[in-house]
Structure 1
C-alpha cells in the first residue's frame, strides 16, 4: 500500500509566537517515507526535536505574522497485519517498560473512572477479542458529528454525549482498553477515506507483544494508515501547538492511496 500525502496550513500570529509542529509522517520499520518536502514561511527560529517515544519529530518554530506550511510525501506501508481478535493480553508483570505509561489514566482518558463499566460490559471477553468488542461498541453507540467537541472534551464527556470526532472515538477506546489492563496510546495518522479529509486520530493497543492500530470510527484501515506520532492522548500529538494566540486562515489535508 502506498499513500500520497499533501497537507497545507496557513495561520496568522499577531505577536511573535512559539509553535510546536508535528505533521510529517514518521520513518519507521512499518512504513518508509519517500519524496518528502516541507516548505515553511521563513521563521525567526527553527529546530527539530524527537517526538514522543522517539516516533517522528517535532519542529520548534517562532513565527510572527502569516505562516504557511506545505508538506508533501509518499509513504509506503510495510505493516504486518494480524487479526487482533485472536491476540492475547500481556499480563502487566510481563509488559515491556515502555508500555507501562499507557496503562494509566491521562488528561483526556480517565480510565480509572471506567473500570466498573468495562468489567460489566466486556468482562466475559479477554485480550484482543475484548478490545475489538470495545471498538465495535463505540462505533455502534457514538455518532460522528464534526464540530461537536473541543480541546477540553474528555473521554468521559464523549461517553455521556454519545457523539464526537475521530479524537473522541480514539480517546474512548484508549480509556476502555486501559481500564481492562491493556496498554493503549493515541496515534496521529494520515489515512485515505477520512470524511471530512483531515488529520486523523486512532487508538493503538498493545496485544500479543506488538502495537496494533484500531479505528473506532470505521473510516481507516490499519494497513492504509501512515503514522505521524503517538502519545498518551491528543495533548502529546497535536499537529500544531501554539504557545500564544493563533488564527487559522486555511487548513487542508489530502491523502490518496495506491494499492
Structure 2
C-alpha cells in the first residue's frame, strides 16, 4: 500500500529556542522519497536527527527569533517490518506514566474486566472506551490524563488512547502510545492510537473508530503523549500560527482497502 503524507507548520519564535520535532515517519518505515525543510526567510536550518530506541526520529536545532516554516513530505512505499520487542520494553509499557495512570484506574479495571484476558480483553477495553468517551475537539486540554477523560467522558484521539493504555496496563497487558499519519482521517490531523502487546506482537486499538488502522503510518512510539509530541521546545516562547496535516492512499497504486475497517480484526501498524 503506497501512502503519501505531508505536514506544514508555521511558527513564530519570540527568542532563540531549542526546537525538537517529531513529524517524520519512524524507522523502519520504507520510504520512496522524503523531504523535510526548516526555513526562515532566506535561511535554511540543518537539523540533527536523533533516533530513539523505538525508531522514532527526532529533529533538533536552535531556532532564532522570527517566523519559521516547517515542511514535510514523504511517500511510503510499502509496509514496515515489525520490530523486535525486548523484555525491558514490555516492562516499561506495564508501568504507570504521566498521562496513563494505570495504578489509579486499577480497581475500576479489575472490577469491570474481571475474567477477561488476551484479545477478548483488548476488544472489551476498546469497546468500553468507544462507548464511554465522546469525541469533542477543542474541549480537552493538553494536560488531560486518562483519569481526567474517564471523569469528563470527552476528549480527542490522544485522550482515547490514554484511557485504553491505562486500562490495559492495569490488567497486566503491556500497552503503548503511537502517533501516526492516518489516511482518510476526518477531521485530518496528527492521529494517536494505542497498541496492545498480545501473544508476542503489537496490535492497534483505535477507540475513536475514526481511522482505517490498515493504512496508518507510524511517526513516534512511547509511554504516552509526552513521549510523542510533534513539537517540543526549551528556552523561549514558540507560537504555532498554522498547522496542516494530510495523508492519503495513492489512488494510482490500486491497493486501497476494499472495505471499511471494522475495528474488530487484529491489525498491526504497517
- Distance in 2 (CA, whole Å) between partners of 1:44 and 1:190 is 24
Structure 1 residue 43, shift from structure 2 partner: 5.9
Q: Can you give the 5+ residue segments of structure 2 that lack an aligned partner in the other structure?
A: 251-255, 257-270
Structure 1 residue 54, shift from structure 2 partner: 3.5
Does the aligned pair in 1 maintain the 2:37–2:45 contact within 8 Å?
no
Question: Where does residue 104 of structure 2 map in the other structure?
Answer: 113
The C-alpha deviation readout for 1:108-158, integer Å capped at 9, x for no partner, is 010001111111111131111101110111111111000111121111000
Structure 1 residue 76, shift from structure 2 partner: 3.4
Q: Can you give the 5+ residue segments of structure 1 that lack an aligned partner in the other structure?
A: 82-94
The 1:79/1:14 distance shift into structure 2, 3 A limit, reads closer
Does the aligned pair in 2 maintain the 1:77–1:223 contact within 8 Å?
no
TM-score, length of structure 2 as denominator length: 0.85
Question: Where does residue 31 of structure 2 map in the other structure?
Answer: 33
Question: Where does residue 155 of structure 1 map in the other structure?
Answer: 146
Determine whether 1:254 maps to 2:246.
Answer: yes
Q: In proportion to residue count, which structure has more strand? A: 1
The 1:80/1:207 distance shift into structure 2, 3 A limit, reads farther
Does the aligned pair in 2 maintain the 1:45–1:63 contact within 8 Å?
no
Question: Where does residue 261 of structure 2 map in the other structure?
Answer: none
Structure 1 residue 220, shift from structure 2 partner: 1.5
For residues 24-173 of structure 1, what are the structure 2 equivalents within 5 Å? 24-28=24-28, 31-41=29-39, 42=43, 46-51=47-52, 53-64=53-64, 65-78=66-79, 96-173=87-164
Does the aligned pair in 1 maintain the 2:30–2:80 contact within 8 Å?
no
SS at match of 1:113: coil
Does the aligned pair in 2 maintain the 1:187–1:201 contact within 8 Å?
yes
Pairwise CA RMSD of aligned residues? Answer: 1.7
